[in-house]
Amino acid sequence: MESIEIRETVPGDLALIEAVYRDAFPDEDLLPLVRALLQEAQVASSLAGLIGSTLVGHVILTRCDIAGSSDKVALLGPLAVDPARQRQGIGSAIVRAGLQRLEDAGVSHVYVLGDPAYYGRLGFVPETVVAPPYPLPAEWRGAWQSISLRGAEPPCRGKLSVPKPWLQPALWAP
């Protein structure tokens, strides 16, 4: 893999970020969600992966809550990598950098709705204690996953409380 620089995004990155999502998800319009999250105070981190001066990947990590718990938790997503640069470890590098930043900030658990084969390689496991904001179709249950940071104990049973941009049932259904 070519050397990748991972850094927090800046407002001037928006057009480049949007281009990566359009290319990576041609059949899915994630841009309204991405734009809304980038304006959200609860975004813990918005990271860009660059090779040279080219933005080749992006992830958003959003601070969330679990009702009845004081644990600091986050939701990972969306994540996109330029299709021409996929399968080169870029997404993994960006996610690992994001997890490290969250761990440094005292976050104990990170949740994701995504491909178990992909996120499993990064240490995510199926989540059964904390429910997603909306019920998932049966075929997606294995895609709801989490990772514990800093050797944290499992959180109390509950439901993930997400900021407004994530409160769209369509984001949680096929």
Helix axes 14-24, 31-38, angle to 10 degrees: 150
From 21, 122, 121, 127, select the one nearest 78 (Cα to Cα). Answer: 21
CATH number of 5-166: 3.40.630.30
pLDDT in tens, 45-64: 999 999 998 999 999 999 99
Residue numbers in the chain where pLDDT is lower than 50: none
Model confidence, pTM: 0.93
Biggest distance spanned by C-alpha atoms of the chain: 45
- Amino acid present at 32: P
Can you give the residue ranges of every domain in the chain? 5-166
Confidence (pLDDT) at 94: 96
Compute the C-alpha angle 12/15/21, nearest 5°.
130
From 113, 118, 112, select the one nearest 92 (Cα to Cα). Answer: 118
Confidence (pLDDT) at 1: 57
